[in-house]
């Protein structure tokens, strides 16, 4: 059983989830809310400043920044959601189960994944995408975020394995598989949503960074990272070309962190 969550953190988690629901709505309705389709040039004057007509301005190709940001948010979230699920399964779930494997297998897995967790997740993601194709960008980001989630879940499961209730269970002859099922049920009841939100924050950072470096989304289906990368040549004089996609990205990651109940001193 985990300790009760303090009121302030409950409040921030509620804000985080409410915000993520709003983001999901914006993503679902992006085609309806956006004035133009993705990548349509000359929809506005080149590098038009933010105004009532073009609230987010336009970029150097005359693309409406509001429409582009909405489409890019759609691509970012569409990639981040499966990546987060993969990180939870390959990291959190597998780590928890692996801690109950026979000792040699358990130790080998902990060692191998421990080595991977000593490599920056960004480099792992770049490597995985380089080994496959850009179509696997979500899988690459999910797998790159998994080692840290694995290590966390593994260590937590090991601590539970030597807890009082586990000792009682073993003493009364309860099968290890039954104990694992029980611990897994409690683990996921107590932490599933926050684990998913935490993974979402981590993979969103990875996905946007790999796209920024040119390994992620492919035009015209730009994500927020690629939009910011495209603004590199203009943003010093036309701040709006990078500021709005950056703000959207920051909001998604911040909401995911809040939803996960992460304190300000915790890594995603």
Mask for 63-92, x = binds other proteins (CB under 8 A): ------------------------------
Mask for 105-124, x = binds other proteins (CB under 8 A): ------xx-xxx-xxxxxx-
Query: Footprint of other proteins on residues 176-205 (CB under 8 A)?
Result: 201, 205
For the chain, helix, strand, coil in percent to 5 are: 70, 0, 30
Do the Cβ atoms of 55 and 66 come closer than 8 Å?
A: yes
Mask for 129-168, x = binds other proteins (CB under 8 A): xxx-------------------------------------
Do the Cβ atoms of 202 and 144 come closer than 8 Å?
A: no
Among 41, 127, 166, 180, binds other proteins (CB under 8 A): 127
- Shortest CB 47 distance to other proteins, Å: 16
Q: Between residues 43 and 215, which has the closer beta carbon with respect to other proteins?
A: 215
Among 209, 217, 259, 260, binds other proteins (CB under 8 A): 209
Is 43 strand, coil or helix? Answer: coil
Do the Cβ atoms of 217 and 223 come closer than 8 Å?
A: yes
Q: Does residue 215 belong to the site contacting other proteins (CB under 8 A)?
A: yes
HSE, side-chain direction, 13 A CA sphere, residue 197: 25
Burial 12-31 (b: 16+ CB within 10 A, else e): bbeebbebbeebeebbeebe
Q: Between residues 120 and 220, which has the closer beta carbon with respect to other proteins?
A: 120
- Shortest CB 218 distance to other proteins, Å: 14
Q: Between residues 40 and 249, which has the closer beta carbon with respect to other proteins?
A: 249
Q: What is the DSSP string of 53-71?
A: SSTT-B-TT--BHHHHHHH
**Torsion angle, alpha carbons of 84, 139, 67, 242, to 10:** 90
Among 58, 242, 259, 260, binds other proteins (CB under 8 A): 242
Do the Cβ atoms of 106 and 189 come closer than 8 Å?
A: no
Measure the CA–CA gap between 73 and 111, rounded to whole angstroms: 37
* Residue ranges that bind other proteins, judged by CB under 8 A: 111-112, 114-116, 118-123, 126-127, 129-131, 201, 205, 208-209, 212-215, 225, 228, 232, 235-236, 239, 242, 246, 249-250, 253-254, 257-258, 262-268
């Amino acid at each position: 059983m985990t300790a009760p969550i303090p009121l302030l953190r409950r409040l921030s988690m509620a804000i985080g989830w409410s915000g993520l629901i709003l983001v999901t709505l914006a993503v679902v309705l992006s085609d309806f809310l956006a004035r133009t389709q993705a990548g349509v040039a000359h929809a506005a004057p080149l590098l038009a400043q933010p105004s009532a007509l073009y609230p987010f301005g336009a970029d150097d190709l005359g693309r409406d920044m509001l429409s582009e940001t909405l489409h890019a948010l759609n691509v970012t979230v569409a990639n981040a959601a499966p990546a987060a699920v993969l990180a939870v399964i390959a990291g959190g779930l597998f780590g928890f189960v692996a801690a109950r494997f026979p000792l040699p297998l358990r130790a080998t897995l902990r060692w191998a994944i421990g080595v991977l967790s000593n490599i920056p997740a960004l480099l792992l993601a770049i490597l995985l995408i380089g080994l496959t194709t850009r179509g696997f960008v979500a899988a690459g980001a999910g797998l790159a975020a998994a080692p840290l989630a694995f290590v966390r879940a593994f260590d937590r499961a090991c601590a539970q394995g030597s807890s009082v209730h586990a000792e009682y269970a073993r003493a009364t002859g309860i099968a290890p598989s039954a104990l694992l099922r029980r611990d897994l049920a409690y683990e996921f009841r107590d932490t599933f949503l926050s684990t998913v939100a935490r993974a979402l924050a981590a993979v969103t950072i990875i996905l946007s960074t790999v796209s920024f470096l040119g390994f992620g989304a492919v035009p015209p289906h730009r994500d927020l990272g690629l939009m910011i990368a495209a603004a590199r040549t203009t943003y010093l004089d036309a701040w709006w070309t990078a500021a709005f996609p950056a703000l959207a990205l920051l909001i998604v990651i911040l909401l995911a962190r809040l939803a996960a109940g992460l304190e300000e001193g915790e890594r995603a």
